[in-house]
Amino acid sequence: MNYPVWNMPLINGGLLIAIIAVLHIFIAQLAVGGGFFLVMTEAKGHKEQSKEILKWVKGHTKFFILLTMVFGGLSGVGIWFVTALVSPTAVSFLVRNFAYAWASEWAFFLGEIIALLVYSATFQACIDGKLSPQKHMFTGWIYALFAFLSLFAINGIVSFMLTPGDWQNINDFWIGIFNPSFFPALFYRTANSLLLAGVFGLITALYIKDEKTRESMLRWCALWVCVPFFVMFASAFWYATTLPGFEGGFTLPASLLRRTTDVRPFLNIFIFVTPLLLLVGLAIFLFLAKAPKLVRLPLVILIMLISLVQMGSFEWLRETTRRPYVIYGLIYSNDIPVSEAKRMNEQGALSAWANAPNLDTNEGKIKAGHFLFTQQCANCHGFGGPMINIAPRVAGRGVMGIEAQLIGQGKLLTYMPPFLGTDQERHTLAFYLHHLFPNKQQ
């Protein structure tokens, strides 16, 4: 099936998806870990017979609803909207092959909404003694379970995109869901979710009026930052062993750096900020014992930003490892199925265009070149934009130089999809790019 092309010259689809996705995943993972955090913190309040703790959890629940249900819900719609525009073939493939997983996730999400709203609405009744703590916390556990099941379902689909495993030979739903990276990714994301619950707990805990309760809750939140870190760290190494290109030891980072240089900053950031998260969490925990006044909003904002950068760099590394595919081994990052490669090379990339221009004229070459760029390049490259700008990659090269670059795609440049089409079409694309950027170094 062919889809209309949605193209924004100054900002490519990958960057647009990244901006929305990182923020959405940040909040979506909070929604998972926050469920366990709310119930376990409420249990702590009941155990210590502290109405101050219970009142804080009640207020934090409202803050939690606004973040996860409102912002998380809206950004979730945004993810679907943008991915369907940028990679309609890949989205259609995932919907068709994992329809039951998507339907289950929708049911789990509906359960999350109902359980969380009931949990929040009945909190005051629990504090006043009109509702037993056990019944109220049971509602909270239902929310936590549904939130985790949502992660469980989505994790199966997202991890499949990187490690489809034997699915390519068997085409079985369960083999696709329980793919090689499913469990390490699930452990990693669950641990990260619990860590984020502690990070966001710090924000509202700062404003508890009772000094003793405030210090107690800040220490409690700092523990949630520190303890899951070790599971997250271990599962990250486990996760790495399942990825394409891993041969043992530290070969994965080396192979990534050999394939594409633009991954280096994100790899360095991930390696730096991951232990930094633990150090800042420990600092908050220790400061509260000796100098509680040092724990202020700037420090909490710092750890929140560190956790956002850490998660964003991880997601970018995962995306980079997938190159040159959007679904590994099945669909290239330009949204062209691998199964179409042979036909396009034999019949031409322009073969489906009913009114394809004459490639023997310069005007026809420019028109066809624009089509070929949009079809095979625009998903990753923009014109003068902030990410993977095509201009400096072709400026100053002749038509033959650009064509040599296109020939190397998929061979020497293994992180890029091969050019799909005839020799004449490849020359046409090179002519078009040289026409746009003959000598400019932008």
Q: What is the pLDDT of residues 136-157, one digit of tens each?
A: 999 999 999 999 999 999 999 9
Per-residue pLDDT at 442: 37
Q: DSSP assignment, residue 66? A: I
d(CA 199, CA 21): 19
pLDDT at 1: 46
Q: How far is CA 57 from the centre of its chain?
A: 29
Question: Taking Cα atoms as reference points, which of 133, 114, 173, 158 lies closest to residue 47?
Answer: 133
**pLDDT tens track for 330-386:** 999 889 999 999 999 999 988 877 677 878 888 888 899 988 998 888 888 877 766
Tell me: pLDDT of 387 over 70: no
Of the pLDDT bands very low, low, confident and very high (cuts 50, 70, 90), residue 313 is confident
Q: How far is CA 250 from CA 231, 245, 415, in A?
A: 20, 11, 19
Total Cβ atoms within 10 A of residue 303? 24
Has residue 417 got a pLDDT over 70? yes
Give phi and psi for 327, each to the nearest 5: -125, 115
Burial of 395-419, coded b for 16+ CB within 10 Å and e otherwise, reads: bebebeebbebbbebbeebbbbbbb
What confidence tier does 100 reach under pLDDT thresholds 50, 70, 90? Answer: very high
Percent of the chain with pLDDT over 70: 90
Estimate to the nearest angstrom the gap between the alpha carbon of 195 and the chain centroid: 17
CA distance 271 to 313: 9
The radius of gyration computed from the CA coordinates of the chain, to the nearest angstrom, equals 25
On the question of pLDDT at 257 being above 70, the answer is no
Assign 261 a pLDDT band (cuts: 50, 70, 90).
low
Count the alpha carbons within 13 Å of 423 in the hemisphere toward its beta carbon. 1
Q: What would be the CATH architecture of the domain defined by 339-436?
A: Orthogonal Bundle (1.10)
Alpha helices by DSSP H, listed for 296-422, are: 297-322, 341-347, 362-376, 391-394, 399-408
Cα–Cα–Cα angle for 350, 355, 360, rounded to 5 degrees: 70
pLDDT above 60 for 259: no
Token pair of 426 as six digits: 């490849």
Q: How far apart are CA 431 and CA 442, in angstroms?
A: 18
Q: Is the predicted pLDDT of residue 204 greater than 80, yes or no? A: yes
SS (H, E, C) 235-271: HHHHHHHCCCCCCCCCHHHHHHHHHCHHHHHHHHHHH
441: pLDDT strictly greater than 50: no
pLDDT in tens, 1-39: 467 777 776 677 777 787 888 889 999 999 999 999 999
| 313 vs 184, more confident | 184
The residue count for the chain: 442
How far, in Å, CA of 92 to CA of 98, rounded? 10
CB contact at 8 A, 140 and 119: yes
pLDDT band at 303 (very low <50, low <70, confident <90, very high): confident
What's the pLDDT at 394? 84
Residue 291: the pLDDT is 65
pLDDT of residue 256: 57
* Mean pLDDT over the full length of the chain: 86
Cα dihedral 17, 20, 24, 26 in deg (nearest 10): 90
Asked whether 37 and 198 are in contact (CB, 8 A), the reply is yes
Instruction: List, for residues 217-234, the tens digit of each pLDDT value.
Output: 988 998 898 888 889 889
What's the pLDDT score for residue 382?
A: 78
pLDDT at 101 over 60: yes
Q: CA dihedral defined by 219, 221, 222, 226, rounded to 10 degrees?
A: 130
Q: Hey, what are 344's tokens?
A: 């396009």
Distance of CA 207 to the CA centre of its chain: 31
Cα separation, 310 vs 228, in Å, equals 14
The arithmetic mean of pLDDT across residues 395-417, rounded, is 85
Query: What is the reported pLDDT for 117?
Result: 96
Three-class DSSP labels, 341-365: HHHHHHHCCCCCCCCCCCCCCHHHH
31, 68 Cβ separation under 8 angstroms = yes
pLDDT at residue 316, rounded to an integer: 81
Long-range contacts: 309-313, Cβ < 8 Å, 24+?
Answer: 309/269, 309/273, 310/269, 310/270, 310/273, 310/274, 310/276, 310/277, 311/22, 311/25, 311/26, 311/29, 311/192, 311/196, 312/18, 312/22, 312/26, 313/266, 313/267, 313/269, 313/270, 313/273
pLDDT of residue 258: 55
Q: Show me where the domains of the chain are located.
A: 13-332, 339-436
Q: 389 - beta bridge partners?
A: 382
Q: Phi and psi dihedrals of 399, rounded to 5?
A: -60, -40
Which class for 68: exposed (0-12), middle (13-18), buried (19 or more C-beta within 10 A)?
buried
> How much of the chain, in percent, has pLDDT values that exceed 90?
45
Residue 409, strand partner residues: 413
Q: Give the pLDDT of residue 145.
A: 97
pLDDT (tens digit per residue) in 423-433: 999 999 999 99
290 has a pLDDT exceeding 70: no
- Tokens representing 438? 């003959």
Residues near 193 by beta carbon (within 8 Å), at least 6 away in sequence = 29, 30, 31, 32, 33, 34, 151
Q: Tokens in use for 114? A: 């109902």
| Cα distance between residue 309 and residue 270, in whole Å | 8
Give the end-to-end CA distance of the chain in Å, rounded to a whole number: 36
